[in-house]
Structure 1
Amino acid sequence: MPSNIQALIVDDERYAREELIFLLGRYPYVKIVGEADSGDTAIMQAIRLQPDVVFLDVEMPKMNGMEVAAVLKELKNPPQIVFATAYPQFAADAFRVNAIDYLLKPYEEDQILQTLKRIQVKETPDNGQESFHQLGKLAIERDGEIVYVSISCILYICREDSLTRIVTKTEEYEVKLTLKELETRLTPFSFYRIHKSYLVNLLHVTRLSPWFNGAYQLEIDGSKEKLSVSRNYVKGLRKKLEH
């Protein structure tokens, strides 16, 4: 049985709120605990009701959805955030405030179901680390769309100039997120920083070889590139790999 999800619906348009409430009402494990038509009201409702997730419109007068999300993120028990909007151009900003998903209007039933599955995974840590590796995805904005990349397929991530490059066995993606932001988001997974500019998926490491001045080189299954391991990170890396 899916675990219950308590949801707060925030949109300045009443009909938009009613539509989302209707669609979510198809799932008996989703309970709508409240709704709000402004950013200020949303924050007060979130503090009072303690929902698991806030479905949050982006474009609202006075206080927009991004500003609301930034406040909610600082709460002692922050709810998950799902942005619900007609504007795809806000996707990158949405994931900067750790939104779990980004629903585009008009809503599609399959899209809502996938969102609810992501919420359930985050709400049920007892499933264990393996479940996160099987179900976890990283949302990446590309060409106006949101691409969901399986985290287990990511080989490594590196920072080059003002962009961050995410490398999988089959594709590469460039994002504006910093390495630190991605490192924080990937905390539950098998990623480790080996250099100020590199974050690697330990699941794909095959060889660690001495290089010079106490530094090492790392070989990754599925990549011909050898990655530099700063000597400051070698001890911690070996501890992660050998225990």
Structure 2
Amino acid sequence: MIELGVLIVDDEPLARARLARQLGKLEHCELLGEAADAVEALEQVERLDPDLVLLDIEMPGDNGLQLARRLSQMDSPPALIFCTAHDEFALPAFATAAVGYLLKPVSAADLAAAVDKAVQLNRSQRKLAGLPATPTVPAAARRRIHAVSRLGVELLDVGEIRCFIADSKYVVAHHGRGETVLDESLRDLEAEFAGLFVRVHRGALVAAQHVRALHREEGGYRVELDGVGVRPAVSRRMLGQVKALLAEMA
């Protein structure tokens, strides 16, 4: 069973090739892609949604520590294992919540141990994020959301909202009457409405009780919701949870 999708970020092709060979011998891992710098890495993280990033520190442009800080600010960030030739960066590296710090040349045993730790964390995260069969609104959560637009103040009943989709600096709430732009973050909405809305992708939360079907389309899976035409993308690492939710609601 594949449990971790992995992205390798290193500006040295030989270092990437060595890590790729070692990963190929480990269970529970799938190499999703490679990147040579921070810009390419960010694009790959958004597109591939990896569970784990193997990250060098010294690279052209933003270094690995700077990239790690940017990744940590994302909703549902991947786990990080630093793979570097420099031992002096260990303290700031672990300040980014890295799960491992390996010195080059990385040994197969050290990589396996660090990856195993990431696997255990991933299992724990999935367990904590288990999807309930009968979602309820948390007692402290709002029943209505205030949205300010050119038309004035709009009140959205939370029960009408089918999904929240991240769009640049804003979040778009999709409901039966259309779309409404919110000046809120997915992370805050997920925390407030835990149990009612569930994450299916780094950029999408859906109303659990309105999930109707899961469709495999070109480029991946999308979830069908009643009452709206939008079909949010489902990331590879959230796919199992969405399938479990549909099974419980059947």
Give the TM-score, by structure 1 length: 0.50
In the TM superposition, 1:55-204 aligns within 5 A as 55-125=54-124
Once superposed, what is the RMSD of the aligned Cα atoms?
1.7
Retained in 2: the 8 A contact 1:85–1:105? yes
Structure 1 residues 90 and 43: alpha-carbon distance in aligned structure 2, compared to 1, 3 A threshold: same
Structure 1 residues 128 and 46: alpha-carbon distance in aligned structure 2, compared to 1, 3 A threshold: closer
Distance of 1:126 and 1:88 partners within structure 2: 29
Letter in 2 for 1:119: A
Structure 1 residues 4 and 128: alpha-carbon distance in aligned structure 2, compared to 1, 3 A threshold: closer
Query: Shift of the alpha carbon at 1:128?
Result: 7.4
- Deviations for 1:31-53, whole angstroms, at most 9, x for unmatched residues? 00010001111011111110000
Structure 1 residues 13 and 3: alpha-carbon distance in aligned structure 2, compared to 1, 3 A threshold: same
User: Is the partner of 1:63 in helix, strand or coil?
Assistant: coil
Structure 1 residues 97 and 127: alpha-carbon distance in aligned structure 2, compared to 1, 3 A threshold: closer
User: Is the partner of 1:124 in helix, strand or coil?
Assistant: helix
In the TM superposition, 1:35-54 aligns within 5 A as 35-54=34-53
Letter in 2 for 1:31: E
Query: Shift of the alpha carbon at 1:125?
Result: 1.2
Query: Shift of the alpha carbon at 1:103?
Result: 1.1
Letter in 2 for 1:116: V
Distance of 2:108 and 2:19 partners within structure 1: 10
User: Is the partner of 1:21 in helix, strand or coil?
Assistant: helix
Distance of 1:24 and 1:35 partners within structure 2: 12
Identity within the alignment, %: 35
Residue number in structure 2 paired with 1:13: 12
In the TM superposition, 1:203-222 aligns within 5 A as none
Structure 1 residues 124 and 90: alpha-carbon distance in aligned structure 2, compared to 1, 3 A threshold: same
Query: Shift of the alpha carbon at 1:91?
Result: 0.3
Alignment: residue pair count: 128
Structure 1 residues 44 and 128: alpha-carbon distance in aligned structure 2, compared to 1, 3 A threshold: closer
> Which residues of structure 1 form unaligned runs of 5+?
130-243
Query: Shift of the alpha carbon at 1:28?
Result: 3.6
Distance of 2:11 and 2:54 partners within structure 1: 12
Structure 1 residues 106 and 77: alpha-carbon distance in aligned structure 2, compared to 1, 3 A threshold: same
Retained in 2: the 8 A contact 1:101–1:115? yes
Letter in 1 for 2:100: D
Retained in 2: the 8 A contact 1:8–1:34? yes
Does residue 31 of structure 1 match 2:30?
yes
Retained in 2: the 8 A contact 1:3–1:120? no
Distance of 2:24 and 2:96 partners within structure 1: 27
Distance of 1:19 and 1:96 partners within structure 2: 27
Ranges of 4+ aligned residues in structure 1 off by more than 2 Å: 126-129
Retained in 1: the 8 A contact 2:2–2:30? no
Distance of 2:80 and 2:27 partners within structure 1: 20
Which structure carries more relative contact order (alpha carbon 8 Å, separation 6+)?
A: 2
Retained in 1: the 8 A contact 2:8–2:34? yes
Retained in 2: the 8 A contact 1:10–1:38? yes
Letter in 1 for 2:17: E
Structure 1 residues 128 and 40: alpha-carbon distance in aligned structure 2, compared to 1, 3 A threshold: closer
Residue number in structure 1 paired with 2:141: none
Query: Shift of the alpha carbon at 1:117?
Result: 1.2
Letter in 1 for 2:84: T
Retained in 2: the 8 A contact 1:21–1:32? yes
Structure 1 residues 60 and 127: alpha-carbon distance in aligned structure 2, compared to 1, 3 A threshold: closer
> Which residues of structure 2 form unaligned runs of 5+?
129-250
